[in-house]
Structure 1
């Protein structure tokens, strides 16, 4: 997820992204039609042969597929759990992304992420923490796409959230955390029920001791609320 720098607006943070990301010299066309199919709470990608499940109570908000900054093919699917006023309580952002053949860039999650072996023992690279929802985002990026999907579906985002980003490389059988194709899942939840604020939990983007009691339960909720299956 190339545009993933702030993890705000309910969603983002950047760690261990691409090793090379120069601006493209040419624009490569990407089909706007999503490749993955959605049925209920299940996303199935026929090419990557992967199936993602989110909680049954999560509502599908929509999808977009687009050329990400001229260097990657990005496909995003968003599910939301919300209150009666359509204010987000939990969000599930699923993204397939791959560099275009016009470049030789590679993603690198071995640095700045923590490896967990999840859902059948597949290496999965995680970052997590509290975030404000007001950080600006780069035009044309994946976060802008998610915000557009949520807006079209009538959802609003709480001002402060807890996020977990989970990434699996789709062309990395050795589990190095590097490759050209990825599956990214972002779990986001409203911070308010914890009784804490971002200011109490982090300083300059770095969590403090007050966050420690929330950390493991947050990771557990994220990793158990979704599942990934190869077929």
Structure 2
């Protein structure tokens, strides 16, 4: 069975009977429109759109993921832009993100409050099976691109309502020399590269 197939079956059944947000995200060129919260995310026009995945992560979170990349002449990814919207499915009402980001830093961007985390990663560190990272690596491979040996990651997470069951995630990664945690210069480059504009809700 292909990775994510069981999740797709679960998602199809849920969408048919429970009124899921369709879609969670919508792409228009170098812009991604978010519906929860209402916002527009913009990546550099030079970034190549690698596609999206919509599946139920680990059987409990409806995820809509979109990926862009900037590459060098040899097809090596230099920068990665990963936008993801997700929500716990209704059949798991006990799940919440309350307390998940207690150790994260706070950052405000585009009028929204985010939890900020950074980390370094070596390509030799295998992505967990059926994870969102595995989905991203599959999209990169399908585009005939290669990931560098080391990348520095910045993740911003916004919780759009008091229930804390939904997330908008903006993840930026750039080629690095080591898998050490990045410093604030990487965060600054992320803020320069990604534009975010929140919109009034319905």
Q: Fold-level match, TM-score > 0.5?
A: yes
Q: Tell me the TM-score normalized by structure 2.
A: 0.82
Which residue number corresponds to residue 173 of structure 2? 188
Tell me if the contact between 1:34 and 1:65 (Cα under 8 Å) persists in the aligned partners. Answer: no
Which residue number corresponds to residue 139 of structure 1? 129
Deviates more, 1:45-54 or 1:73-82: 45-54
Q: Determine whether 1:157 maps to 2:164.
A: no
Deviations 1:56-100 (CA, angstroms, capped at 9, x unpaired): 111101000001111010111000000112110000011001000
Q: Determine whether 1:84 maps to 2:69.
A: no
1:28 and 1:148 map into 2 onto residues whose CA distance is 19
| Aligned residue pair count | 183
Secondary structure at 1:182's aligned position in 2?
A: strand
Deviations 1:4-33 (CA, angstroms, capped at 9, x unpaired): xxxxxxxxxxxxxxxxxxxxxxx9721498
Consecutive unaligned residues of structure 2, counting only runs of 5 or more, are 1-7, 16-21
How far is 1:51 from its partner? 1.3
Q: Determine whether 1:115 maps to 2:106.
A: yes
How far is 1:46 from its partner? 4.2
1:156 and 1:162 map into 2 onto residues whose CA distance is 15
1:129 and 1:185 map into 2 onto residues whose CA distance is 14
Secondary structure at 1:30's aligned position in 2?
A: helix
Which residue number corresponds to residue 57 of structure 1? 46
Deviations 1:93-148 (CA, angstroms, capped at 9, x unpaired): 1100100001120114432211112222x211111132212212222111111111
Which residue number corresponds to residue 61 of structure 2? 72
Residues 48 and 129 from structure 1, CA distance in 2 versus in 1: closer, same or farther, beyond 3 angstroms? closer
Q: Tell me the TM-score normalized by structure 1.
A: 0.72
Tell me if the contact between 2:67 and 2:81 (Cα under 8 Å) persists in the aligned partners. Answer: yes
How far is 1:35 from its partner? 4.0
Consecutive unaligned residues of structure 1, counting only runs of 5 or more, are 1-26, 173-177, 208-213
2:120 and 2:37 map into 1 onto residues whose CA distance is 31
Aligned Cα root-mean-square deviation (Å): 2.3
